[in-house]
Every structure is written in structure tokens, then in C-alpha cells.
Structure 1
Amino acid sequence: MSLTDVDWSKLPAPEDDSTAARVEGTTLPQLELAATDGSKVHLADLTGTSVIYIYPKTGQPGVPLPDGWDTIPGARGCTPQSCAFRDHYKELSALGAGHIFGLSTQSTAYQAEAVERLHLPFPLLSDADLTFTNALDLPSFEADGQTLLKRLTLIVRDGVVIKAFYPVFPPDRNAADVMAWLEENPA
């Protein structure tokens, strides 16, 4: 089985804790996040439509995931989710997504390995200091002493969250769900 071929029926699905309801309509905070392309991104200042998929942690070949990773609802699937956004990048852009980002609490250096290995055509953003997480009160969990984010995808227009997908499961279907929503809700 490859990293992108996962039997989702054997993994625990996350439950809806109303995070989407409290995040939709929120104006993004004025802060900058480090990106894997070397830039600093001010999400609140981006114009047009942006898609930000938030994920717990990408694994690295040869490095074990936290103990019990597959028993944490929604933890597994960061690579298939990123690959789906990569594979649908052109379609998402054609539907008006001017900016696409992945976001996690991992360091930019750690994320850079995933961008290169997975050939992602968009940058990943680091919220290692949890400023974005805390400002939006994003759902998180602890694993091996790390604060990790629960999987959530935001569609933002001119700095305001207009749609939040949560919980996201299975993660490899997330990009297709975002495309369907963008088709039904053009800018």
C-alpha cells in the first residue's frame, strides 16, 4: 500500500465539534506566517479567494509517526490530502482559488521536505508558534508532546472565512469537495 492508498474504513473518523460554525464569518488575524517558498504570508491581506487546508502532520520516510497515530480520529491522511490538492491545483485555480496553502504547526524546514518530495505547486505555511491557531481557536490535539491541528479547510475571500470544511474525512476527498463548493459558490 502506498502513502496515498489508505483504507479509510479501518481508521476512526473525526467527529464534528462545531468548529466550522464558529470559524465561518471570522476575519483572519493580522499576522504573518513563514512559507516554504521563503516568503512571509499575511493571509488577512490576500485579495480574492484563498484555500487553506489545515492538517496535523506530514510524515517523513523512515521517521516513525507518533505512537498510536492511526487510533487518533482524523490524524492519518496528510500526504493523501496534500497530493489531492496538488493533483487538482489547476482545476482549483480555474475555479477562482487564487491562493492555495497547506498549514500545520510543523517548522518550515520540516515542511520543505514534504513540498519537495510531494512536488507541491504551492507553499506550506508554518504556525509553529501557534499564533494563527490561537487567534482562530482552531481545534488541536497533543501527540508525542506536540500540539497538532485537527484537519480543517478554510475558504477565505478578502480576509474573511466564508466556508469551513470540518471535520475533513476522508482527507483524500477534500480537494474534490472544495472544488464542488467553489463551482456552486463562484466569487
Structure 2
Amino acid sequence: MSEDFPLPDDLPVPEDDGAADHLLGMEMPDVSLPATDGTTVNLRDLPPRTVIYVYPLTGRPDEDVIPEGWEDVPGARGCTPESRGFRSHYDELVDNGVGEVFGLSTQTTEYQREARDRLHLPFEMLSDAEWELASELELPAFTIEGDEYLKRLTLVVSDGRIEHVFYPIFPPDEHASEVLEWVNENPR
């Protein structure tokens, strides 16, 4: 597989702006989102210790969908390498007590399905194209070229509540290792 969307060495590092501080301990809302396997997932009924990594936008090698200035936004670049990291660590996460892993963006399910298939992800992606979860949880976002995108963060959800929040995330290609380390250090 080609190394599409490699990370440049000079990516700007995101700073913690406090925009995710309110999430820890929150109850997951009664929101159902479409998954790339054709099912609908109710976020209130997740398996124990579910990892949801939220990302702004997955690019495609055959389309130019990345907005001008994307690499200048701290934390924007790196969705494909982040997904690859979760693919690489998926079995270890499950072996260490994670019931499920989901990627989540505001892109459509059809768009996400292409990325899931192209990247050979062993888990599903959830589409919040209507911004239901983002609004309910007041997830941090940024605007570029007039369009709004979710900022990169990861939620660990246990028993219907947000047990841990990773925010900001950098570098994105090493983030799954960070999540695995936290899971190992915090057994259920």
C-alpha cells in the first residue's frame, strides 16, 4: 500500500485551548449515528470501554478535498495516519479490554466507507454529518474556508459516560499507541 498523506516534519502543534475540559464524566447522549457497515450505533448503548477517535477530515488520493491552508491549522493534518495507527493497534486494544473502536467525523457514511475499505480498517467509522453528537457534547471545532470541522480528540466511554478525553492530539500517527498505553495503565 502506498504511503498516501505522509505527515510533513513541520506540522504546527495544537495547544490545549480548554475546549474539551467539560467532556470528562459526561453522560453520552441518546444519539444514533450511521456506521460504515450499514448499521446505526446508539452512543448511549456502547460496549464497555469504547474508544471513539474524532477527526476533522479524511483525504482521498483520487480527490482534492483538502481545503487551502489545511496544513497551517494546528491538529488538522493527519487523519489517515491516525486511522492507520488505530488499525495497527486494534487487536491490542481489544485484547486489553476495549469493547469497540470507532472513528468519527462529519463526513458522510459513503465517504467514510471508501476510507475504511482503502485503509483496511478492522472497525467502523461513524458519521456525524448532521452534527448531532458534536452539538450535544459541544465538541471543539474550527473553521477554514467557511467550512466547520471537528477538532481531533479521542473519547474513552465506559458505562455510558466519558471516562477519559485525549485532547489535543499530537502527533496523530502516534496517538493510538498513547491510547493503548492509557488502557494498559487503567484496567477496568
| Length-normalised TM-score, structure 1 | 0.95
How do residues 125-164 of structure 1 correspond to structure 2 at under 5 angstroms? 125-164=126-165
Root-mean-square deviation (Å): 1.3
Indicate the SS of the match to 2:20. helix
Indicate the SS of the match to 1:27. coil
Which residue in the other structure is 1:6 paired with?
Answer: 7
Indicate the SS of the match to 1:28. coil
Distance 2:22 2:96 in 1: 26
Which residue in the other structure is 1:98 paired with?
Answer: 99
Distance 2:113 2:146 in 1: 22
Distance 1:108 1:13 in 2: 29
Which residue identity is paired with 2:100?
H
What is the CA-CA distance between 1:3 and the residue it aligns to? 2.8
Distance 1:154 1:87 in 2: 19
**Structure 1 range deviating more: 169-178 or 11-20:** 11-20
Distance 2:158 2:19 in 1: 19
Distance 1:72 1:18 in 2: 17
Which residue in the other structure is 1:56 paired with?
Answer: 56
Equivalent residues of 1:105, 1:147 under 8 A apart: no
Indicate the SS of the match to 2:38. coil
**CA displacement 1:30-57 (0-9 Å, x = unmatched):** 0100100100001111231100000000
Distance 1:47 1:124 in 2: 15
Which residue identity is paired with 2:149?
L
**CA displacement 1:9-64 (0-9 Å, x = unmatched):** 40111110113321110001001001001000011112311000000000011322
Equivalent residues of 2:36, 2:110 under 8 A apart: yes
Which residue identity is paired with 2:85?
A
How do residues 20-39 of structure 1 correspond to structure 2 at under 5 angstroms? 20-39=20-39
Distance 1:173 1:19 in 2: 22
Which residue identity is paired with 2:26?
T
Equivalent residues of 2:75, 2:151 under 8 A apart: yes
Which residue in the other structure is 1:110 paired with?
Answer: 111
Gaps of 5+ in 1: none
Runs of 4+ in structure 1 displaced over 3 angstroms?
none
What is the CA-CA distance between 1:6 and the residue it aligns to? 1.8
Instruction: Figure out how many residues of one structure are paired with residues of the other and give that number.
Output: 186
Distance 2:185 2:5 in 1: 28
